[in-house]
DNA sequence: AATCAGATATGACAAATGTCATATCTTCGT
DNA sequence: ACGAAGATATGACATTTGTCATATCTGATT
């Protein structure tokens, strides 16, 4: 299995090479040290996996990754980072990275490479721990449990889209008064006092 | 490294054992076939990793996992499943599972086990692909970019908590009129028309 | 046919929200 | 000390939102 390493810090690059090549099945194709290197060397070597730092001067690992994945959508990119950073994680996931691990966890680099090669995605503990809190906005509750009807759910969606009663009425071909009444009923059923709380309820609990 | 296998289908359990024990470093401590088995056998063997099916008659793998993690928070649970299912993924992430892979990918089971043992979390491709869309309710935007002041952010939080202007005023020791004015300014800065949209903006974009 | 439940609508009202001009007061820089 | 800038407040007003009693219409039940 061929690995391409890209890291700002050449010493880190060499250390990684040593670690990786301690495993006979793995070879390091090349070592780059900036985003531009990553793009160029990836096309040149077509490695099985690109092991790349996120933070680099000039083109960041994410920008380089995005560019590489545009050209080679099958590329397997595993990001290395010195600390867990939410913003990066989300962007890394979005561009389609295969993983995100901390450099400190050097003993987990080889298993991570193998898992990625086998088609899995790998993430360090700290990183995964952050995802649920972003996802979970509370247990997914079912509006039906509160006796919310279909029409009422439409209205809730309207409120959660930030519409006024008049706008919701227009969208659903009902009168504004009907919406007003219905909003009262909805708040009653959900135990809320203000329309804003309906939107909040939606984003925290339902939102399907 | 000791593995505990739990799967509804005994044949699958035995096949997994065969695959796993083809690797000398790995041994299977035991094989269970239901959620109750999982809980009991986990306490009995304290395996390094619990490899468990999600769908099982009676207690599901998720319920069992939740219970095990309550008693043994350090437990490493790797879920096996026959298909990728959003609901399960989210719940699995929430309870703190270390991974979620498809049974079909049997050649990736061993690397996955090793990566989990090394402290990483492992997810099959299909699964990871779904996370960004769940996460990405818009890029995390910075309120400062809109010229929102600290006090204004407090008010935004109040609105996002569903408070009325009067309640926010009370909480911040300001007059209700001041809050009203401030809300106008906030909507102006964020390009919004209604307070509900402020709450929505908060939940979609900021919420730190 | 008589009745009932539902969805929709209206009007009257109360309360909350949003807009705007303007006023105080403090603080900061010169 | 002077004036500018910022934060807070007020009052007047328009609009939106929420509450409630009541009305109308439809379709289903008996």
Contact B197 A121 (CB under 8 A): no
pTM higher than 0.75 for the full model? no
Q: How far is the CA of B169 from the C1' of C29 (A)?
A: 32
Q: What is the DSSP letter of A57?
A: S
Q: What are phi and psi of B149, to 5 degrees?
A: -85, 175
Looking at residue B207, what is its pLDDT? 64
Do A121 and B131 meet the contact criterion of CB atoms below 8 Å apart? Answer: no
Contact A200 B199 (CB under 8 A): yes
Contact B112 A118 (CB under 8 A): yes
Distance CA B83, CA B110 (A): 19
In sequence order, the β-bridge partners of residue A180 are: none
Distance CA A145, CA A137 (A): 18
Do A69 and A77 meet the contact criterion of CB atoms below 8 Å apart? Answer: yes
- Chosen for mutation from B94, B115, B127 (greatest number of chain A CBs closer than 10 Å) is B115
Looking at residue A30, what is its pLDDT? 95
Looking at residue A145, what is its pLDDT? 77
Looking at residue B97, what is its pLDDT? 87
Q: How far is the CA of B78 from the C1' of D27 (A)?
A: 55
Q: How far is the CA of B156 from the C1' of C30 (A)?
A: 36
Do A134 and B135 meet the contact criterion of CB atoms below 8 Å apart? Answer: yes
Strands B120-124 and A120-124: antiparallel
Among B98, B192, B200, select the one facing A199 at the smallest CB separation: B200
Residues 6+ apart with CB under 8 A from A36: A58, A59, A64
Among A115, A125, A199, select the one facing B199 at the smallest CB separation: A199
How many CB pairs lie under 8 A apart between chains A and B? Answer: 147
Looking at residue A193, what is its pLDDT? 93
Task: Please tell me which residue of chain A has the smallest CA distance to B118.
Answer: A108
Which chain A residues are Cβ-neighbours of B198 within 8 angstroms? 196
Return left, alpha or beta for B173; rule: phi > 0 is left, psi -120 to 50 is alpha, else beta: left
Minimum CA–C1' distance nucleotide for A183:
D18
Looking at residue A72, what is its pLDDT? 94
> Would the Cβ of B187 be found within 7 angstroms of any atom in strand C?
yes
Q: Compute and round to an integer the Cα radius of gyration of chain B.
A: 24
Q: What is the mean pLDDT of each run of 10 residues along chain A (208 residues)?
A: 93 92 94 92 95 87 91 92 70 83 83 91 76 56 80 92 94 93 94 94 78
Give the residue ranges with Cβ < 7 A from strand D.
A 164-166, 177, 180-181, 183-184, 187-188, 193-196; B 149, 151, 173-175, 177-178, 180-181, 194, 196
Per-residue tokens: B191: 């390009």
Nearest chain A CA: its distance from B170 CA (Å): 17
- Positions in chain B whose pLDDT score sits under 70: 83-87, 126, 129-141, 206-208
Cα–Cα nearest to A165, from A122, A198, A125, A132 = A198
Distance CA A85, CA B173 (A): 36
Residues 6+ apart with CB under 8 A from B184: none
Distance CA B199, CA A27 (A): 52
Distance CA A149, CA A151 (A): 6
**SS3 at position A103:** coil
Minimum CA–C1' distance nucleotide for B175:
D9
pLDDT in tens, B45-75: 999 999 999 888 888 888 999 999 999 999 9
Looking at residue A4, what is its pLDDT? 96
Q: Which helix (H) or strand (E) holds B38?
A: helix B35-45
Per-residue tokens: B71: 């008693």
Looking at residue B27, what is its pLDDT? 93
**SS3 at position A171:** helix
Question: If you search the block for the tokens 């595993």, which residue do you land on?
Answer: A78
- Chosen for mutation from A19, A115, A133 (greatest number of chain B CBs closer than 10 Å) is A115
Dihedral of the alpha carbons of B25, B6, B89, A204, in degrees to the nearest 10: -120
Looking at residue A140, what is its pLDDT? 61
Distance CA B201, CA B148 (A): 13
């Amino acid at each position: 299995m061929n690995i391409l390493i890209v890291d700002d810090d050449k010493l880190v690059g060499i250390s990684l090479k040593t670690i990786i090549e301690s495993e006979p099945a793995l070879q390091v194709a090349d070592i780059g040290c900036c985003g531009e290197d990553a793009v160029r060397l990836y096309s040149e070597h077509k490695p099985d996996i690109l092991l790349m730092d996120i933070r680099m001067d000039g083109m960041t690992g994410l920008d380089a990754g995005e560019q590489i994945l545009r050209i080679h959508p099958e590329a397997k990119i595993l990001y290395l980072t010195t600390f867990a950073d939410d913003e990066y994680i989300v962007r890394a996931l979005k561009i389609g990275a295969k993983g995100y691990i901390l450099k400190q966890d050097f003993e987990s680099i080889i298993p991570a490479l193998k898992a990625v090669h086998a088609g899995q995605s790998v993430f360090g503990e700290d990183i995964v721990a952050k995802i649920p809190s972003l996802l979970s906005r509370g247990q997914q509750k079912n509006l039906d449990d509160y006796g919310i009807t279909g029409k009422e759910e439409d209205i809730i969606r309207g409120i959660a889209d930030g519409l006024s009663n008049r706008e919701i009425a227009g969208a659903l071909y009902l009168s504004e008064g009907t919406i007003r009444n219905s909003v009262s009923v909805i708040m009653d059923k959900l135990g809320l006092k203000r329309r804003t709380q309906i939107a909040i309820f939606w984003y925290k609990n339902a939102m399907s």
